[in-house]
Chain A
Amino acid sequence: MKYVIAIIRPERLEEVKHELQKVEVNRLTVSSASGYGEQKGHLEVYRSLELEVNLLEKLRLDIAVNDDFLQPTIEAIKRGAKTNTGCIGDGKIFVLPLEDVIRIRTGETGSDAI
């Protein structure tokens, strides 16, 4: 089992969800995140004063998958989140080993619980 964390542009969420559904990954946790990487920041204007905002709004996706679903999941996120504009800031995907999963209602564990 693997634990996939993806940081994406907020405006790409619907597209990523769509792509994930196509490969039958039907579970997803989404949370608001802010941070910065190569993209650094952007300018906002408050009362005409320009302010460099270096914490950018992103979304964080958390998905636990069985091993055979890992590659389709990664490909789906890549298809959905990539802007094809060549601009930096499309995000990253992190893959972590996952020790166990427990479904609270039934007590099932491991692959069955995913």
Chain B
Amino acid sequence: MAIEAADTAWVLISSALVLLMLPGLALFYGGMVRRKNVLSSMMHSFVAMGIIAVEWVIIGYSLAFGTGNWFIGGLEHVFLRGVDLYSVSGTIPTYAFIAFQGMFAVITPALISGAVVGRIKFKSYIAFITLWSLIVYAPVCHWVWGGGFLTGEALDFAGGTVVHITSGISALTILIFLGRRKGYGTDSIRPHNITLTLLGTGLLWFGWFGFNAGSALAADEIAALAFMTTFVAPAAAGLAWMAIEWFRTGKPTALGFATGILAGLVGITPAAGFVTPMAAIIIGAAAGSICYGAVVLKGKLGYDDSLDVFGVHGVGGITGALLTGVFASVGGTGLLLGNSHQLLIQFEGVAITILYAIACTIIIGFVIDKTMGVKIDENAENIGLDRTQHGEAAYNI
């Protein structure tokens, strides 16, 4: 197929929008940690832009989108061999496709960092995301989008399974090796600046238009639909969260509204180009409500998924993936149009991804824990990661 200028322009812009989600995520997470850990938390997002971008060009792209087999891509595009200025993917230059997909590879491991704040060694974090991107992200991306066994079967428009379920489940699993922050449940560990978190939420939403509408890989009617659903689902989710919280605890919090928006963004991701805007409102409201429940449950179970990566990305991703199988009506059909088989496939994709992410994260976590250790010592945790891991402080007189 020939290159379409409009499609190329939209995918390039979308790629830049997705990259902007990383500083957005850094602010979102950074505001929720204590002041002694804010730079460390933001660095987790920023360093992913360094490591995964380089890794993507060296080998990640090939493992995800090389021909390969049902499980993983081949090595024919290592160092981007076989790709040149004139290579075409669909209606856009292959370089644009590689860049767009590379942004997804960058943000996915960074999402995990919200679970490990305040207690992970920086070098161990780097080792973890480097290995995780190769062992978990690349294969699952290949399964769903790169020609693997779920391609053309499971509906995942922009990465509910590939991005959010993988990261959300792995965030919960890595806690096996990290445990809780010191003082969790006894000391008042509070967000140090929720205004940063709200600004981050805005940047994430803005970038998410590239994430979802860009996933059409064309400047067409599907992109416009995905844009609309990305507009209304988070709105409904934020309202749902706020309403439940207001009713249960008596106050509508800003942090709650922002968290609801994020849950809606996650929930609509797999469905973005497959459902109508009205269905998107239902999916958003469901994601906001169910993620709220998951976060409340965390408090009762007492595990320290510090910034609710599992509660929002894991649970929101699962909710969205399954509801895509219910509401799909554009470019696929779901349960409501009588296709119960689609819901079954969605369930299968979710279940396999969950099991795979858990198994791989345990292995990666075990190896890193035995070789370099995952958790910092108690004294360093008291002082904070900014000073002990990075030798700087965020706020000075």
Binding site for B on A (CB under 8 A): 41, 44-55
Interface string of B288-318 (1 = CB under 8 A from A): 0000100110010000000010000000000
Quote the shortest CB–CB distance from B191 to chain A (angstroms). Answer: 6
Q: Is A44 touching B295 in the complex (CB atoms < 8 A)? A: no
Q: Which of B188, B190, B245 has the most CB of A within 10 A?
A: B188
Quote the shortest CB–CB distance from A72 to chain B (angstroms). Answer: 35
Q: Is A45 touching B253 in the complex (CB atoms < 8 A)? A: yes
What are 20 A-B pairs with beta-carbon distances under 8 A? A41-B188, A44-B190, A45-B249, A45-B256, A46-B191, A46-B253, A46-B255, A47-B253, A47-B255, A47-B259, A47-B308, A48-B248, A48-B249, A48-B295, A48-B299, A49-B295, A49-B296, A50-B249, A51-B189, A53-B188
Interface string of B165-200 (1 = CB under 8 A from A): 000000000000000000000001111000000000
For the complex, would chain A's binding face be called helix, strand, loop or mixed by DSSP majority?
A: strand
Quote the shortest CB–CB distance from A33 to chain B (angstroms). Answer: 16
Residues of B within 8 A of A55 (CB): 188
Residues of A within 8 A of B188 (CB): 41, 51-55
Interface residues on B, range: 10 to 19
Which residue of the partner chain, among A45, A52, A54, contacts B251 with CB atoms under 8 Å? A45
Binding site for A on B (CB under 8 A): 188-191, 245, 248-249, 251, 253, 255-256, 259, 292, 295-296, 299, 308
Quote the shortest CB–CB distance from A84 to chain B (angstroms). Answer: 26
* A53–B259 CA distance with the chains assembled, in angstroms: 21
Residue of A nearest to B312 (CB): A47
Residue of B nearest to A45 (CB): B249
* A49–B251 CA distance with the chains assembled, in angstroms: 12
Quote the shortest CB–CB distance from B313 to chain A (angstroms). Answer: 14
Residues of B within 8 A of A41 (CB): 188
Residues of A within 8 A of B296 (CB): 48-49
Closest 5 CB pairs of A and B: A49-B299, A53-B188, A45-B249, A47-B295, A48-B296
Quote the shortest CB–CB distance from B312 to chain A (angstroms). Answer: 9
Q: A45-B249, A46-B255 are in contact. Are A51 and B295 (CB under 8 A)?
A: no
Q: Which of A47, A53, A55 has the most CB of B within 10 A?
A: A47
* A89–B240 CA distance with the chains assembled, in angstroms: 36
Q: Is A48 touching B256 in the complex (CB atoms < 8 A)? A: yes
Residues of B within 8 A of A50 (CB): 249
Q: Is B249 touching A53 in the complex (CB atoms < 8 A)? A: no
* A80–B3 CA distance with the chains assembled, in angstroms: 74
Residues of B within 8 A of A45 (CB): 245, 249, 251, 253, 256
